[in-house]
Structure formats: C-alpha cells, structure tokens
Amino acid sequence: MASGDGVGTGFAWLAFASTAVVAWGLYGILLHSGQAGMADPVNGRYKAFLFVGVAYFFTAILAPVVWMAARGGTSWTFPAAGMLWSLLAGVAGAAGAFGVLLAFGARGTPPVVMSIVFAGAPVVNAVVALLLQPPAGGLRTIRWPFFAGILLAALGGCLVTLYKPNPAPPPSRSAHPAAAAKAPAATPGQAQSR
C-alpha cells in the first residue's frame, strides 16, 4: 500500500515515525546543551532559541522547497485553510520549544522536563483529537483501554520524573577513593608507634 504522497510503501511510515521519535528524544538534551554552551546565564536560552529558528529555516523552509522542486510538476498554490492550520502548528511547535527552554531556565533538568512533555503531549493530542473529530456514536462509545492509556501515560511521566536516577557527582580533586580503600587501616597500636 503506497503512502499518500508516494514517499514509500508498506511500513515506511514506521521508519519515518521512528526518525521523529529519535529526533524529539534528542531534542531536550541538545537544546539544554545549546543553552549551556552559550555561556550566558541571562540570555543563553534566548540565544539557543534563535539558533533553533535558524535550524527551522533550513529544515522547514529550504528542505520542503527543494523536495517539491525536485519532484517536478508540484502545484505552488497554498489554500488559506492549509496555511492557517500549518501556521498554527508552527506556532505550537515553536511555543513548545520555547516552553522547554524556559523550563530549563527555571532549573528543570532535561530528563524531568522532557518526561513531562512527552508523557503529557499524547494526552493533549488524544483529548484535542476527540474534540475535533468525535467518534461515531459519541464519547460514550470509547472503550475503557483508551482512558487507561491516557492514565498510564500521565502516570509514566510522573514516575519517570519522581524516580529518575541522579547523575554521578563530579570527581573530587582529592585522592582517588579506590586508592584510599586499598591502603591498610592503622590499628590503635600502629598509630601510637608512628
């Protein structure tokens, strides 16, 4: 079965979706590293967001233009409804990225912030999708596993946030602990004879 735009067949959609999972899974840690790399505690997050915009220009403007031009015969008409919804999607994406940066600036760590984001986003998506496209027969026809999935997604985000492993402390400049552990302990008599 071919995809709607002729990009691939069969399970190509799963490969593309997996690409998004990996990219968005890396997003938080890369964004946090970019913010820290700006070496500006006051405006570092805004500088990082500026370069997110530069990246959006390359990946969200140049790439589709080149893709459509390479395919030839592309219609360059853009209906108003498509433009409006797409612009709203872009604003939502950019607002989300900015919210992530602000969360980092308020001392949120990438594992915690991104766990909340990625557990909460599917819940928001499911609820909004139900409101925009209600199921045939109304909301009463929705089976219980759907609601259980929403609950489990929220619970998973909460558990990851509460029980994330803490990073190892930075190594101290004192003697290596392993070397100190190998040295024999002095007995009270030895300590007095020294």
pLDDT tens across 112-171, in order?
888 888 888 888 988 888 888 888 888 889 899 988 988 888 888 788 878 878 778 888
Between 187 and 126, the more confident residue is 126
Displacement of CA 12 from its chain's centroid (Å): 22
pLDDT at 59 over 60: yes
Give Cα separations from 160 to 46, 71, 88, 108, 166 (angstroms).
Answer: 28, 44, 30, 14, 12
Which residues touch 163 (CB under 8 Å, ≥6 apart)? none
- Give the pLDDT score at 3: 44
Which residue's entry shows tokens 């390479």? 70
Q: Supply the pLDDT for residue 91.
A: 92
pLDDT value of position 140: 85
